[in-house]
Copies of this chain bind each other. A is one copy, B any other.
Amino acid sequence: MSEKPIRRQSRQRAVVLEELQAVSSHPTARELYDRVRKRLPKISLGTVYRNLEQLCGSGEVCRLPADGAEARFDADTQPHDHVRCVRCGRLADLPGTPTTLTLETLDETAGFEIIGYRLEYLGLCAACRKPDNPVP
């Protein structure tokens, strides 16, 4: 029935991936779109979304959990944790190995088969910690 369609090459998808790999800022789709548009001025936002979704599906890109806000994307598919600023939403990588969790004890839990985990630290970034910094 549902055969997965063969993926073709496209300049748009290549550039979307390249530009995402070129930054470490975990951009939103729109931010990435703005970057990509400098190289492909006619690309549409819809195409950026479509390609991001495809790249997610093929594991070349990760969609980071969007806390009610816009989704952010990460070209670093190695497992690593993030810190999110609770005030401005900025997302940063955490260097080093991801936190070790006792996954094995969880396999039976709640009837779920555990595949992995997603860990996000919450905090205040340097900019937002300044006392005179206005709430966005």
A residues sitting closer than 8 Å to B (CB atoms) are 63, 65-68, 71, 83, 85-86, 92-95, 99, 101-103, 106, 109-126, 129
Contacts and interface: CB of A to CB of B under 8 A. Distances in A.
Contacts of A109: 83, 94-95, 121
B125 A121 contact: no
Copy number in the complex reads 2
Contact of A94 (B71, B99, B106): B106
A120 B121 CA distance: 11
Contact of A114 (B63, B66, B112, B123): B123
21 contacts: A65-B120, A66-B66, A83-B110, A85-B112, A86-B115, A92-B112, A93-B110, A94-B106, A106-B121, A109-B121, A112-B121, A112-B123, A113-B124, A114-B123, A115-B122, A116-B121, A116-B123, A117-B119, A117-B122, A118-B120, A118-B122
Residue among A63, A111, A121 having the largest count of chain B Cβ atoms under 10 Å: A121
A134 to B, nearest CB: 10
